A and B are shown apart, each in its own frame.
Chain A
Amino acid sequence: MPASSFISIQDVSKHFGSIVAVDDIDVEINRGEFFALLGPSGCGKTTLLRMLAGFEIPTRGEIFIDGEQMSGVAPYRRPVNMVFQNYAIFPHLNVFQNIAFGLRKDRLAGDELKTRVNNALSLIKMKEFGERKPEELSGGQRQRVALARALVKNPKVLLLDEPLGALDKSLREQMQLELRQLQKIVGVTFVFVTHDQEEALTMSDRIAVMSAGKVLEVGSPDDLYERPQTRFVAEFLGTMNVFDGSVHARDGDSYIVDTRDLGRIRAGVGAQEFSDGEKISVALRPENLKIVNSQTSEDIDGSVSGVMSNTAYFGNSAQVYVTLDGSEQALVVSIQNQDGAASNVAHGSRDITIGWSRSSVLLLKDA
């Protein structure tokens, strides 16, 4: 049944022989959204993207794009275009011919074709490069040509398969911003696949986190980072300290939770409800932990003591690794390097106490 959203992926599965690459996925994507499929390699994100493009046929389920059912529609008849992971620039054609490749069918008058290709070239700031051969282009330029070649077709959806994966780090950061701006200008729905959580967090409106063929959570970057619902998402996005625990009781606006490593602690009540005795995971972001000493004035609802085993210095911040007393587990604490705080810690006493506020303790369902 056609859904109200722009792209509707309904109960889609894809099997390759006995391997289940995509396992019963439902995702709705809105018009004009910058949507990320995020997950480790082999989680099925690329297969899902290729099913949107029409290169793979779902074993089960339906895909609708702008209300139209896509099953049985060949790739060359779909209103989507794709930017390939290696860009797939035709080596026997120059930049202009590459961008004009998909316009042959539109039977444009010579002038109009030129205008459209030149507009696309100026959109990617490569006006002067029309005559260049692909082997003369840098990685970043190839990526832009691939973008222009797809966008010049005015697709309803642009699919991007690890679009920045082949670029080096500084270029990647620059292209993240450019892609985001480009999407704002053209207003096309972007669906992109990445294994890089930082990339997904900085670029997307919404993210679907995938693992083992399933979509675990869908949400905005801050939703997923601040309020993850599952242990996998909590650990996959950023650094997270996770402990096993069980709910002791609910006490007003907080839960009382027993853990082996942290003892009995309090956690604020969030979106999820838990019953007494339920096995859960307790998660704490390193940046929400503080080193407690005599001058600490902030609200501390819980604390644990341990021995500092290691520090990693990042310039603007530092991570302190603490081995908890009476436990093998290490705790990661991130501290801002204000007024040389990091080196003070590094050279201070090795026995320290770590504290946190009740609201920063996250409780996650799947223990």
Chain B
Amino acid sequence: MSGPPGKFNIGWLRGYTVVYLIFIYLPILLLPIFSFNDGIYVAFPMSGFTFQWWAEMVSQPGMHKALWNSIAVAVPVSLISTILGMMGAKALTSYPLYGARALTGMFTLPLVTPFLILGIALLITFKNYGINLSLFTVGVGHVLICVPFSLFVLLSRLESFDRSLEEAALDLGETPWIVFWRVTFPINMPGIVASLLLTFTISFDEFLLAFFLTGDASTLPIFIWSQLRFPVKLPSVLALGSAILVVTVFIVVVAELLRRKGSTRSTGKVI
């Protein structure tokens, strides 16, 4: 620990950080904990251990359809946003484009605009052009918010990517298209996979845009929202929420490890 002098309050800082982490995690951990509780209320004392709610969750009508709908949206959304993000990141890192700053600013807009407003603006647009609400319109909304994420993950990746590697490949006689597949793509693979995984989770978990833009078909978060009205359904919602949490956490940890490990190897930096 190479701290500056007066180390007395490092212990205090560490203690605070641990408490902060508990604050961040505790509410979410309640979901899995109480999903095994043999009672209808989320309250102490806990009454006993049961798999009942998980069994009920799995057999719930509508849940499978909603799960399938969510996947049917999230997979194409992650692919399309990562392709667009990769193209954009490549353009912004490899070419001294005029207005590059303005472009970057524009790509941050979806992240700093409340999703509610994005949702209603898109809703109005779809109605205006007579496009019926469906999983497709949800997908459009999700691509809009996923492209910036993908773009910024890949931008930081490509910024630390040594461009002379591409020049070396060109110099050795490969056309730009082949250079992309033989050099740029494999070396930046961890970032691309991280982008795919992160955009998948964003779309899979997204509620507000889906709330406004879905028609009759509901995605998993919409399904959960509709179940929250019925107190008896609460325990099985806990089970469903826990399952989603576990999957999300797994995907994100893999994505983060890839993103950071990959970038550590090529640049020696952590972030």
Chain A count of residues within 8 A CB distance of the other chain: 25
The residue that A75 contacts in the complex, of B165, B171, B183, with Cβ under 8 A, is B171
The residue that B164 contacts in the complex, of A75, A84, A102, with Cβ under 8 A, is A84
Q: Does B43 contact A (CB under 8 A)?
A: no
Known A86-B162, A91-B265; contact A101-B167, beta-carbon cutoff 8 A: no
B186, A84: Cβ atoms closer than 8 Å: no
Q: Does A153 contact B (CB under 8 A)?
A: yes
Interface positions, chain A 84-124, Cβ under 8 Å from B, are 84-86, 88, 90-92, 101-102, 104-105
A101, B169: Cβ atoms closer than 8 Å: yes
The residue that B172 contacts in the complex, of A55, A86, A91, A149, with Cβ under 8 A, is A149
A153, B266: Cβ atoms closer than 8 Å: no
B187, A90: Cβ atoms closer than 8 Å: yes
Contacts of A135 in B (CB 8 A): 265
Contacts of A54 in B (CB 8 A): 170
Q: Does B117 contact A (CB under 8 A)?
A: no
Contacts of A153 in B (CB 8 A): 172-173
State in angstroms the CA–CA spacing of A80 and B172 once bound together. 9
Q: Does B226 contact A (CB under 8 A)?
A: no
Contacts of A82 in B (CB 8 A): 167-168, 171
B171, A101: Cβ atoms closer than 8 Å: no
Contacts of A150 in B (CB 8 A): 171-172
Q: Does A203 contact B (CB under 8 A)?
A: no
Q: Does A81 contact B (CB under 8 A)?
A: yes
State in angstroms the CA–CA spacing of A86 and B161 once bound together. 13
Interface positions, chain A 52-81, Cβ under 8 Å from B, are 53-55, 74-77, 80-81
Contacts of B172 in A (CB 8 A): 76, 81, 101-102, 149-150, 153
Chain A residue nearest to B172 (CB atoms) is A102
Distance to closest chain B CB from A277 (angstroms):
50
The residue that A76 contacts in the complex, of B164, B173, B265, with Cβ under 8 A, is B173
State in angstroms the CA–CA spacing of A80 and B170 once bound together. 11
Chain A residue nearest to B186 (CB atoms) is A92
B167, A55: Cβ atoms closer than 8 Å: yes
Q: Does B175 contact A (CB under 8 A)?
A: yes
Contact with A along B142-183 (1 / 0, CB 8 A): 000000000000000000001011011111111110000011
The residue that A91 contacts in the complex, of B169, B174, B176, B187, with Cβ under 8 A, is B187
- Residue with the greatest number of chain B CB neighbours at <10 A, chosen from A55, A74, A90: A90
Distance to closest chain A CB from B177 (angstroms):
11
Known A86-B162, A88-B162, A91-B266; contact A105-B171, beta-carbon cutoff 8 A: no
The residue that B187 contacts in the complex, of A55, A74, A86, A92, with Cβ under 8 A, is A92
B171, A76: Cβ atoms closer than 8 Å: yes
State in angstroms the CA–CA spacing of A345 and B171 once bound together. 56
Interface positions, chain A 133-163, Cβ under 8 Å from B, are 135, 149-150, 153
Contacts of A53 in B (CB 8 A): 167, 171
Chain A residue nearest to B183 (CB atoms) is A90
Interface positions, chain B 37-59, Cβ under 8 Å from A, are none
Known A86-B162, A90-B183; contact A104-B167, beta-carbon cutoff 8 A: no
The 6 closest A-B pairs by CB, nearest first: A102-B172, A88-B168, A88-B164, A75-B170, A84-B164, A82-B171
Residues in chain A within 8 A of chain B (CB atoms): 53-55, 74-77, 80-82, 84-86, 88, 90-92, 101-102, 104-105, 135, 149-150, 153
13 contacting pairs across A/B (C-beta < 8 A): A53-B167, A75-B171, A76-B170, A81-B171, A84-B164, A90-B183, A91-B187, A101-B172, A102-B173, A104-B174, A105-B173, A105-B174, A153-B172
Instruction: List 18 extra interface pairs beyond A76-B174, A88-B165, A90-B169, CB under 8 A.
Output: A53-B167, A54-B170, A55-B167, A76-B171, A80-B171, A81-B171, A84-B164, A84-B168, A88-B164, A90-B165, A90-B183, A91-B187, A101-B174, A102-B173, A104-B174, A150-B171, A150-B172, A153-B172
